[in-house]
Amino acid sequence: MQGQFVTLLKEMGRNLRDLLPILCVVVLFQLLVIREPMPELERRIGGAIFALVGLTLFVRGLSMSIFPLGDGMADWLARRGSLALLLGFGFAIGFGSTVAEPALSAVADQAALALTSTDAAGGDDGQAARFSLFLRYTVAIAVGVAVAVGVLRIVKGWPITWFVLPGYALATVLALFSQSALSAVAFDAGAAATSAINIPLMLALGVGLAGMIRGRNPLLDGFGLVALASLTPMVVVLIFSFVLE
């Protein structure tokens, strides 16, 4: 218990070092450029202390739980050798982590409002809510499929560029042709869909799998799941806005 506490304190010291640059930037701009006292200073300082403690606990907790869990799962799945189970797990991880993601829900609501209000039929609230739910589930299914494909890629040794580069190309072409106000939102939503929990888990799964399968290098083949999982929501929301307009 004592050792735990010392480790945490040491890590907090390291995180404080990481926080110093941003503190310097804020102080520098406040003093030299803005030259006004900062409003609610005590509250901001309190927030920074919360952030420091939270950051330390979170990073420590990840290496105690999510990383070994992901490794263990990958290890078991690779030993078992059942591709169906492996793909099922990949899908479940992608779907589960996306469907309740707060950032995605916010974007889906916004997109639903924007689309139903331009609708000639005159959008009511119920329609917008249904559409938002539909969009969220579509995106979650798409991310699930993306993670399953990413896992399959690791097993088969396909290059990640086969999937990610055409995906980005498609997203860009869709954005160029739709000229919809929604396209910027779609891109940002994709980036927001990969968050604090699913990124570490996808890394653990990918790296663990690549480490277990002969001929795969964890560093070379274990990455790429996050890229796929953030790209897919972009493409799906873009296709939605393209079809609907």
Partner 1 sequence: MENIAALLIDEAIKTVLDIAPIILVIAVFQFAFIRRSLPHLPQILAGLAYVAIGLTLFRIGINESLIPIGRDMAYQLVGLAYAAGEASVGDYLPIFAFAALLGFTATLIEPTLIAAASRVQELSGGSLRALTLRLVISCGVALGLVLGTVRIVQGFPLEYLLAGVTASLILLALTAPRGIVPLALDSGGIATSVVTVPLIAAYGAAVAEAMPNDATAADGFGLIILALLLPAVLVLSLAQIQARFMNRLNKGGSDEV
By CB under 8 A, the residues from 199 to 218 that bind partner 1 are 199-201, 203, 207, 217-218
What is the rounded CA–CA span in Å between residue 141 and residue 138? 5
Q: Let me know: does 155 contact 86? Beta carbons within 8 Å.
A: yes
- The vertex-190 CA angle with 228 and 207, nearest 5°, equals 35
Q: Return d(Cα 71, Cα 199) in angstroms, integer.
A: 14
- 40 vs 37: CA distance, rounded Å: 9
Residue whose CB is less far from partner 1, 121 or 204: 204
Give the interface size with partner 1 as a residue count (CB under 8 A). Answer: 102
Residue 110-129 contact track with partner 1, rule CB under 8 A, x = bound: --------------------
CA–CA gap between residue 115 and residue 129 (Å, rounded) = 11
Asked if residue 172 binds partner 1 (CB under 8 A), the reply is: yes
Least distance in Å: CB of 125 to partner 1?
A: 21
The span of 62-70, 122-130, 131-139, 235-243 binding partner 1 (CB under 8 A) equals 62-70
Stretch that binds partner 1, among 118-126, 130-138, 165-173, 236-244 (CB under 8 A): 165-173
CB of 114 or CB of 129, closer to partner 1:
114
Contacts of 214 (CB under 8 A, 6+ apart): none
- Using CB under 8 A, which of 139, 149, 185, 235 touches partner 1? 185
Taking the complex as a whole, how short is the minimal distance between the CB of residue 129 and partner 1, in angstroms? 18
Q: How far is the CB of 79 from partner 1 (least distance, A)?
A: 10
Residue of 49, 84, 120, 121 interacting with partner 1 (CB under 8 A): 49
What are 32's two structure tokens?
A: 């030299």
Does 63 sit near partner 1 (CB under 8 A)?
Answer: yes
Coil, strand or helix at 219: helix
Among the listed ranges 68-76, 122-130, 131-139, 237-245, the one in contact with partner 1 (CB under 8 A) is: 68-76
DSSP state of 37: P
> What is the dihedral angle through the alpha carbons of 21, 22, 24, 25, rounded to the nearest 10 degrees?
120
